[in-house]
Amino acid sequence: DAGVTQSPTHLIKTRGQHVTLRCSPISGHKSVSWYQQVLGQGPQFIFQYYEKEERGRGNFPDRFSARQFPNYSSELNVNALLLGDSALYLCASSLVAGEGSYEQYFGPGTRLTVT
């Protein structure tokens, strides 16, 4: 079975541009979460979506937005890119949301570089 997939693998953008990152969860998983991992640090929670609704939001500016589609895949959008947005963006899927016992499975990430 395929794990969590993310696209693209790498991305280089210029300050002020917009970027869209994509994630496909494990088949049967209905919840997707997004994390930002700056080099040398632990991942920071950005969003969680479950059944196409936002279930949680981390401490990120409104330039960050996301959505989940009927097939449970998800997009993370970042507007007006800043140099500080350069990071590895991780997507994680879980069977359901709202239950801490369910494991989150991570994808390989998208490496975003803002110049």
Partner 1 sequence: AQTVTQSQPEMSVQEAETVTLSCTYDTSESNYYLFWYKQPPSRQMILVIRQEAYKQQNATENRFSVNFQKAAKSFSLKISDSQLGDTAMYFCAFTDNAGNMLTFGGGTRLMVKP
Task: Give the nearest distance from C-beta 50 to partner 1 in angstroms.
Answer: 9
Cβ closest to partner 1, residue 66 vs residue 97: 97
Find the angle CA(93)-CA(98)-CA(99) to the nearest 5 degrees.
85
Strands, E assignment, 8-106: 10-13, 19-24, 31-37, 44-50, 53-57, 64-68, 74-78, 87-94, 105-106
Residue ranges in 59-88 that form contacts with partner 1 under rule CB under 8 A: 88
**Would you count residue 104 as binding partner 1 (CB under 8 A)?**
yes
Site string for partner 1, 19-58 (x = CB under 8 A): --------------x-x----xxxxxx--x------xx-x
Q: How many CB atoms lie within 10 A of CB 79?
A: 13
CA distance 113 to 9: 11
With binding defined as CB under 8 A, does residue 102 bind partner 1? yes
Binding site for partner 1 (CB under 8 A): 33, 35, 40-45, 48, 55-56, 58, 88, 90, 92, 94, 97-109
